[in-house]
């Protein structure tokens, strides 16, 4: 893929974008995650998932494979896509990284048979407030009466297979939903007609989380849109930006923390500081663990060890003294030129902001 030094440089200089899923209950958020991951959490196949890391990483090769029917000639410049596994508001509001949202882009899921619902509007308001980019997945298109399944097909191809009646019903519902968005002050358009995609007009991607139509389009749009418009945000920084999602005791690993590495690189042996109940915890990374990519995600208790990991990634960190670490705070790496006391101070500052958020809710 690499064609010379300059292109390989730009490929190396962008991190993976981070995406989260929002929307009203029962619109298919969990099912959509399952569909893109190739798992089945929604039907109770939780098994290994519950002890996973809270984010699924899709390497670029995987995205390329899933989207090849779209014949997208544009290159993927990001190494992959990191999708946060907890659907809903909480993942969006609680997962913050030093004041800004953790997600670079959101998928707002709307059920085509229901249109906008109360939590859709709540989600929209959060997105507006944070000024977060999003795309709309207009889900459950397979529920349109007479829908002919075209498993995992790009949406334009799938739409061409449908009868005039189905196409008519689709267009009617789409028009209604575009109007509902307009009433919320949001312009939307089908993504393949949205030439002016930008802050002014948000893209709609029709999907089925059951039969997979539109999923290739969704994946490709997320990656292409972020790499095109968020170059600054996605450029690697030497400073580590990392948020603690969860503190867990794991058999054979002691107490571990699950983190999302948003930017920068973590290494085995790095000296880190995380916020504790009483005091900052100063420790060093004993092991950097991730689940196996994609399909093997379900293998229980089996993790890959890494010497170093580049952002963005969901990671399980094993280190001494993590028992009292606090979820929702930032992890800091002590660099060779850093003063440990200053970094401790920064870590505890985070705790005060987490506490004030808890007080407010």
What residues make contact with ligand GDP under the rule CB under 6 A?
25-31, 42, 87, 139-140, 142-143, 208-210
Reference 54, options 302, 294, 316; nearest CA is 316
Q: Which is nearer to ligand GDP, 30 or 313 (CB)?
A: 30
Q: Closer to ligand GDP by CB, 141 or 312: give it.
A: 141
- Least gap, CB of 213 to ligand GDP (angstroms): 9
Cα angle value 181/210/296 (rounded, 5°): 115
Peptide bond before residue 128 is cis, with ω within 30 degrees of 0: no
**Which of 197, 210 has the CB closer to ligand GDP?**
210
Instruction: Supply the minimum distance, in Å, between the C-beta of residue 329 and ligand GDP.
Output: 27
Give the count of alpha carbons within 13 A of 147, CB side only.
22
Cβ at position 158, least distance to ligand GDP in Å: 12
Of 30 and 188, which has the nearer Cβ to ligand GDP?
A: 30
For ligand GDP, give the closer residue by CB, 55 or 274. Answer: 55
Query: Which tokens is 196 given?
Result: 């002016």
Cα-to-chain-centroid distance, residue 179: 28
**How far is the C-alpha of 125 from the C-alpha of 239, rounded, in Å?**
31
- Of 87 and 276, nearer to ligand GDP (C-beta) is 87
Report the sign of the C-alpha dihedral through residues 197, 148, 28, 61, in that order.
Answer: negative
List helix spans (H) across 187-236.
215-229, 231-234
**Is the four-CA dihedral 266, 272, 274, 276 of positive or negative sign?**
positive
For the record, the structure tokens of 104 come out as: 């670079």
Least distance (Å) from ligand GDP to the CB of residue 342?
A: 42
Minimum distance between the CB of residue 69 and ligand GDP, rounded to whole angstroms?
19
Alpha-carbon span 327 to 257, nearest angstrom: 8
Reported as half-sphere exposure (CB side, CA atoms, 13 A), residue 134 has a value of: 28
Task: Indicate the residue among 126 and 289 with the shorter CB distance to ligand GDP.
Answer: 126
Least separation in angstroms between residue 175's CB and ligand GDP is: 20
The nearest distance, CB 210 to ligand GDP, in angstroms, is: 4
Query: Which residue's CB atom is positioned nearest to ligand GDP?
Result: 28
């Amino acid at each position: 893929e690499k064609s010379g030094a300059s292109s390989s440089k730009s490929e190396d200089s962008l991190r993976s974008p981070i995406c989260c899923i929002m929307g009203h209950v029962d619109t298919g958020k969990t099912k959509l995650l399952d569909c893109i991951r190739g798992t089945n959490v929604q039907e109770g196949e939780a098994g290994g998932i519950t002890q996973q890391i809270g984010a699924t990483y899709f390497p670029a090769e995987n995205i390329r494979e899933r989207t090849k029917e779209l014949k997208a000639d544009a290159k993927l410049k990001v190494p992959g896509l990191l999708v946060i596994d907890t659907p809903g508001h909480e993942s969006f509001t609680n997962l913050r990284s030093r004041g800004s949202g953790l997600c670079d882009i959101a998928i707002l899921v709307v059920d085509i048979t229901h249109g906008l619902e109360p939590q859709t509007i709540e989600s929209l308001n959060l997105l507006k407030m944070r000024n977060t980019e999003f795309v709309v997945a207009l889900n459950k298109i397979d529920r349109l009466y007479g829908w002919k399944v075209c498993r995992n097909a790009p949406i334009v191809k799938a739409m061409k297979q449908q009868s005039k009646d189905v196409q008519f019903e689709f267009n009617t519902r789409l028009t209604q939903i575009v109007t509902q968005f307009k009433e919320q002050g949001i312009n939307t358009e089908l993504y393949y007609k949205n030439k002016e995609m930008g802050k002014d007009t948000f893209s709609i991607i029709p999907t089925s989380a059951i039969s997979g139509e539109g999923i290739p389009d969704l994946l490709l749009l997320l990656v292409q849109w972020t790499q095109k418009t968020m170059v600054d945000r996605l450029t690697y920084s030497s400073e580590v930006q990392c948020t603690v999602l969860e503190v867990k005791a794991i058999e054979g690993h002691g107490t571990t923390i699950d983190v999302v590495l948003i930017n920068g690189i973590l290494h085995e042996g790095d000296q880190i500081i995380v916020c504790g109940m009483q005091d900052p915890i100063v420790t060093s990374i004993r092991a950097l663990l991730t689940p196996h990519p994609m399909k093997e995600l379900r293998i229980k208790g089996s993790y890959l060890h890494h010497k170093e990991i580049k952002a963005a990634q969901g990671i399980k960190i094993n280190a001494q003294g993590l028992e009292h670490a606090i979820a929702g705070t930032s992890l800091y790496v002590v660099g060779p030129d850093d003063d440990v006391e200053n970094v401790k101070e920064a870590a505890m500052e985070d705790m005060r902001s987490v506490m004030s958020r808890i007080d407010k809710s």
